[in-house]
Amino acid sequence: MYKSRVIKKKKFFFFFFGVKPGIILEELGIPYKVKNIELRKNQQYEPWFLKINPNGKIPAIVDHSKDDFPVFESTAIAIYLCENYDPEEKLLPKNDPKLRSQVIQWVMFEASGIGPTQGQSNFYCRFNPEKVPFAINKCANEIKRIYGVLNKSLEGKEYLVGNKFTLADAMSYPMVRGHFFSGVESIDEFPNLKAWIERIDARPATQKGLNVPVPDKMKEFQENPEKLEEFEKLMHIYFKDRFKI
């Protein structure tokens, strides 16, 4: 349950806990493989891994086709993959500076807003053994504010930039689709955002990225509260042991 994954196939050695880099790899058709990292055994802090990511976090990749060049942080990985392995500009424009800037702006919006806010909310809603109502409500309100920004920006559009699926959508989608996990049970008040999630749900490559190397659990957790409760109990044990809380 606490394993991260490492992807290795031809070119890449990919240490994978989130799904964003996996989605990018699948959407761009880049060969890769995956291997497990035991977080409970602190493998992410072993010297060999710290050479790849000095921060001891996952995900990270090593590009074997470029002298084993390492890249860490999901956003940096995504941009690196697009800059080096997206000649058709499927996800990141290269020749139109304005479009490229728009995509990067939304990518940074996810990295500085959506990701951190929902990450904090995940902890307070699901992982922290003790419920802190103030923190839970504060996170939920900020998430809804962010969703309002996305919803307004999607008015009359299928995707965030250029009316086509880009890195802007690929990076935000994994977190937003898990809104219920982050304490926002319903997004009915954000119809454009809801339709956007359903639209991306239908992308085969994205779905494959979500299910590498094990089946995605988010939908199961949403449909089966008992499974979610079981997962929460496991995470409570993990955090109590890790942080002595």
Domain boundary pick from 33, 64, 85: 85
Domain count, the chain: 2
Peptide bond into 59 cis (omega under 30): yes
Q: What is the pTM of this model?
A: 0.87
- Within this chain, do residues 146 and 105 fall inside the same structural domain, yes or no? yes
Would you say residue 159 lies in a domain?
yes
Of 33, 59, 85, which residue sits at a domain end? 85
Range of the domain at 186: 97-210
CB 53 within 8 A of CB 7: no
| Residues 9 and 46 grouped into a single domain | yes
| Beta-carbon contacts of residue 6 (< 8 Å; ≥ 6 apart) | 13, 14, 15, 16, 33, 34, 35, 36, 37
Residues 6+ apart with CB under 8 A from 225: none
- How far apart CA 241 and CA 76 sit, in angstroms, is 31
12 and 76 in a single domain? The answer is yes
Tens-digit pLDDT profile for residues 92-130 = 999 999 999 999 999 999 999 999 999 999 989 888 888
Q: Are strands 12-16 and 33-38 parallel, antiparallel or unpaired?
A: parallel
Encoding tokens for residue 161?
Answer: 């930039």
Token pair in block for residue 133: 């109502």
- Does residue 150 share a domain with residue 77? no
Indicate which CATH number applies to the domain containing 68. Answer: 3.40.30.10
Instruction: Please report whether residue 227 resides in a domain.
Output: no
Question: At 239, is the pLDDT very low, low, confident or very high (cuts 50, 70, 90)?
Answer: confident
pLDDT tens, position by position, 162-193: 999 999 999 999 999 999 999 999 999 999 99
Considering the domain architecture, whether residues 135 and 159 belong to the same structural domain is answered as yes
CA proximity to 15, closest of 45, 177, 242: 45
